[in-house]
Chain A
């Protein structure tokens, strides 16, 4: 398997929402390359007619009645929120400042 380029590592970090420091990116580039190379054995396995496992133990998707169930009171459910106003969670703007031009803010 190919070693990862620095650009690939930066892209993955953005997708993973990890603002890695430059030295972390460098270390990650090396470590992921080693790990992926070690796991290259999978590529050589013939799996042409092998179905991908979806469940280890056979099971069917269960349905339940579409009825209101008891749930946590809002105040309890919001008890761990780092910043809130009343029952609202406060977060910074989702619109990047002008000129930033990244591709990841559409989440």
Chain B
């Protein structure tokens, strides 16, 4: 066995981890033990994990190691430790959606993406924190615990997939799966200096995802490199008949997309995305665009006039769908129940006790928007505006191949800084349109602020054109990415 020290394994890439295990340099058990030790050491302060499945992970690792010893063929992710956002259901492992209403629920089946990961040999190391039912932009809406930003523990990791972004940045897993309804993969990825990809709507099955807004939700990877994002996406993408919106489209070899060649690529800069942001973020985006031009890409200035309407449209569509989806949490079939003398009382008391303030706010907003007599003025209007936003993108993609924007208007903000709901909603202002139009998007680190906080560049592409996003994203990563810089805010990470 080579001198690969378990202590050095935590920042290995997904591909590297799998390759070294396959080559016999290290065992899956050593990888898992090193990762569990690291979680034990620093997650008390970081707060990324809601549940660590040490026993389950050790058992799978031991099984993989004995298979390898017997020369049984193994999957491409054999032995790779993965953390799952706690809205992905896992057979035999508690799934809470970071809500009190699901405390103690043990799902009887695996989500489609979890089945895919397990089939590829990946090891589920635990479930990570998020905003309750994925509703939020800071993970402060978790009913269980705050998660800190590993670059600066006084700041949030973003949300809603904040446990995923923090765990990946801090080296507590090789990769994580999150979900993105309005930016919930890309925004926390930007805040924590990792790569986050939201695939085209329908590219990845939603079977076994605790639903928030069904016309917007997508599962995607959070990783430390674009190459890892490609590899994980390749593993989880594909048609699933159990999701009626799953696209029956061929899955390209995403890992083959990273050619490093952006010559002739037309990169659109929509002016509406550059109107209001921190100066340091603007400067980082200018450097990013220049780096792409130096490598042969062309810049195209564009206008997408309906961009400002994305926020109000999103905050009507998403709560409307959430109010319907969350009707199932009523104390009857799973989760917590507050007993009461009649059924209506039982529903109301169970839901009042089980849901947190932001979830209740969105259920109320959605119920209002869908109410008889109000539907045309709110939900239908928002869906019409969605068409206008989609047309903006269709027009833009006649002139460019990909759009470049900041992922967020500011870097990670301190805990408690967005006490007003509308202020918090504005944290998603650059990421929402992508979900409304069903497009793929990726956030790639493109530098640090003077204060040492990560900045994310967002690329948005045509439907099913993740390949171009990954290709351009890898070029950004190589040119202006974080290189070997790691967060130093928690656990003495160097």
Residues of chain A whose beta carbon lies under 8 Å from any beta carbon of chain B: 4, 8-9, 12-21, 24, 28, 31-32, 34-36, 38-43, 45, 47, 50-57, 59, 61-62, 64, 72, 76-77, 79-83, 89, 91-97, 100, 102, 104-105, 107
Contact = CB atoms under 8 A, between A and B. Distances in A.
A56 B344 contact: no
A103 to B, nearest CB: 10
17 contacts: A17-B344, A18-B348, A18-B351, A35-B422, A38-B422, A39-B312, A42-B309, A45-B385, A47-B381, A47-B385, A53-B386, A55-B245, A56-B390, A59-B245, A82-B336, A91-B343, A105-B343
Contact of A19 (B336, B345, B378, B381): B345
Interface SS, B side: helix
B325 interface: no
A57 B201 contact: yes
Interface string B81-106: 00000000000000000000000011
A20 B344 contact: no
Contact of A42 (B316, B323, B339): B316
Contact of B364 (A18, A47, A102): A18
Contact of B330 (A17, A24, A36, A80): A17
A79 B477 CA distance: 46
Nearest to A72: B108
Interface string B305-324: 00011011101100000010
Nearest to B391: A50
Interface SS, A side: loop
A28 B355 contact: no
Interface string B426-438: 0000000001111
Nearest to B355: A18
Contacts of B331: 82
A28 B390 contact: no
B365 interface: yes
Nearest to B333: A81
A50 B244 CA distance: 26
B250 to A, nearest CB: 15
B365 A52 contact: no
Contacts of A102: 344
Contacts of B244: 61-62
Contacts of A107: 344
A28 B367 CA distance: 13
Contacts of B437: 56
Nearest to B331: A82
B312 A76 contact: no
A35 B438 contact: no
B352 A19 contact: yes
B342 A94 contact: yes
A21 B223 CA distance: 42
Given A28-B361, A53-B387, A42 B382 contact: yes
Given A53-B390, A92-B343, A42 B313 contact: yes
Interface string B364-396: 110110010000011011111111101000000
A20 B108 CA distance: 32
With most chain A CB atoms within 10 A of its CB, the pick from B106, B109, B363 is: B363
Closest 6 CB pairs of A and B: A56-B438, A19-B348, A80-B334, A39-B312, A52-B383, A47-B384
B384 A51 contact: yes
Contacts of B334: 80-82
B364 A32 contact: yes
Contacts of B201: 56-57
With most chain B CB atoms within 10 A of its CB, the pick from A8, A17, A24, A51 is: A17
Given A35-B421, A82-B336, A57 B463 contact: yes
A107 to B, nearest CB: 8
B388 A45 contact: yes
Interface string B327-364: 10011111111011111111111011001000011011
A34 B351 CA distance: 24
B408 interface: no
Nearest to B463: A57
B368 A19 contact: no
B344 A105 contact: yes
A28 B341 contact: no
A13 B316 CA distance: 17
B202 A42 contact: no
A95 B365 CA distance: 28
A47 B367 contact: no
B241 interface: yes
A51 B387 contact: yes
Given A59-B202, A59-B245, A76 B347 contact: no
A64 to B, nearest CB: 7
Nearest to A44: B309
